[in-house]
Amino acid sequence: MAMVSEEQVLNALRNVRDPDRDKDIVTLGMISGLVVKGGNIAFAIEVDPARGAALEPLRQAAERAVDALPGVTSVTAMLTAHRPPPGMGARAGGHDHAGHGHAGHGHAKPAPQQRPARTGVPGVRAIVAVASGKGGVGKSTTAVNLALGMAANGLRVGLLDADIYGPSLPRMMGLSGKPETVDGKVLRPLVNHGVKVMSMGFLVAEDTPMIWRGPMVMGAIQQMLRDVAWGELDVLVVDMPPGTGDAQLSLAQNVPLAGAVIVSTPQDIALLDARKGLNMFRRVDVPVLGIVENMSYFCCPNCGHRSDIFSHGGARAEAGKLGIEFLGEVPLDIAIRETSDGGAPIVMSQPDSEHAKVYRTIAAKVWDKAGGGAAVRAAPRIVID
């Protein structure tokens, strides 16, 4: 698959004009926070706050322009109003929606189907999936920082890269090389930053094109789950393949998940992609532990100023409507990208940063909901071979 470059994305965006200023949005300096990961593209378009949501057609035009590039699989463009730095402090707590306690909503859950017997993994107390409705929303970044947050909170953590179409955990965890076998049978996971990791990325060269058919996907994931010497773990975090297709559904059905965390951008929730993820887990009776809003607001790389992304808060509102816990919001910040793409995710490399705290808080909530208690409660349904 052809790699998409930042330059190509910017060139495509040069064809999109700001209707009010009759110049293209790149020349006008409106594009920021561009993130290119394989075929997944995300960026922010900075607009005058007064024009705000009226520029939705512009946002869509920008997405379409990039989407048309060969090799692009998903595009997330977000409108953001970057206010000038003076007096910025006023906004800091402006969207906290104090008093929106969603916990007591008491929504009736749809009647779940009979949960099939899922064989547990010996030694592993709880398995938590991190999922998203589509690619490029920051699912892997969240999975990695969540795992590191749990480790920082004192848990024994494993990380399984089930995103076999685009395994990114080796790079994000700063790991390379091939896992050794124990007794020529099971694979020993690689370890970095205190977390055990297994990924298809260790087993096949990065530039080897892989064509996966449904049953192969599940076979590979089951092997990484069961033929790996995970040892004693409190929690195994599974980075799911993006989307809600058959592979994801069968994974949700066949892996004994204590629960799932859904990662969504504000835009993505508005477009219902995230809701598909929720429904998928509910259908197979896997508890959805909550939603994380990623790229929730924008941190200017130059001045550190925080500005909102339009439809920021969408995930929180959606979570409230669906009676699901809102776990937290993570900004679009180049520091998050640089650290995870550089193999030293922010939770371990900048543990005192605001972002690291947010991830640790989310990690604590997730463990609380999926942890010892839940695993024990689910025990009678688990059949050991």
Q: Residue 130: which of 175, 101, 102, 169 has the closest Cα?
A: 169
Residue 179 sits in the site that holds ligand ADP (CB under 6 A): no
The three-state secondary structure class of 135 is: coil
Contact 118, 222 (CB under 8 A): no
Residue 332 sits in the site that holds ligand ADP (CB under 6 A): yes
Q: Which is nearer to ligand ADP, 12 or 240 (CB)?
A: 240
Q: Which is nearer to ligand ADP, 18 or 43 (CB)?
A: 43
Instruction: Name the amino acid, one letter, at 277.
Output: G
For residue 243, give both structure tokens.
């989307």
Q: In what order do the strands lie in the sheet with 31-37?
A: 31-37, 40-46, 74-80
Q: In whole angstroms, how close is the CB of 317 to ligand ADP at the nearest point?
A: 20
Residue 341 sits in the site that holds ligand ADP (CB under 6 A): yes
Binding ligand ADP (rule: CB under 6 A), the pick from 37, 156, 316, 365 is 37
Q: In whole angstroms, how close is the CB of 131 to ligand ADP at the nearest point?
A: 9
Contact 60, 94 (CB under 8 A): no
Q: In whole angstroms, how close is the CB of 353 to ligand ADP at the nearest point?
A: 12
φ, ψ of residue 238 to 5 degrees: the values are -110, 120
Residue 32 sits in the site that holds ligand ADP (CB under 6 A): no
Q: Among all residues, whose Cβ is closest to ligand ADP?
A: 138
Binding ligand ADP (rule: CB under 6 A), the pick from 251, 340, 374, 375 is 340
Q: In whole angstroms, how close is the CB of 264 to ligand ADP at the nearest point?
A: 10
Binding ligand ADP (rule: CB under 6 A), the pick from 8, 73, 141, 244 is 141
Q: Which is nearer to ligand ADP, 120 or 307 (CB)?
A: 307
Binding ligand ADP (rule: CB under 6 A), the pick from 8, 80, 168, 264 is 168
Q: In whole angstroms, how close is the CB of 33 to ligand ADP at the nearest point?
A: 7
In angstroms, the CA 335 to CA 332 distance is 9
Residue 285: CB atoms within 10 Å: 17
**Sign of the CA dihedral with 12 first, then 13, 14, and 18 last:** positive
Secondary element (H or E) of residue 167: none
The site for ligand ADP, by CB under 6 A, has a size of 24
DSSP 114: P
Residue 282 sits in the site that holds ligand ADP (CB under 6 A): no
For residue 376, give both structure tokens.
């024990």
Interface contacts to ligand ADP, rule CB under 6 A: 35, 37, 40, 42, 132, 135-141, 168, 242, 294-295, 330-333, 336-337, 340-341
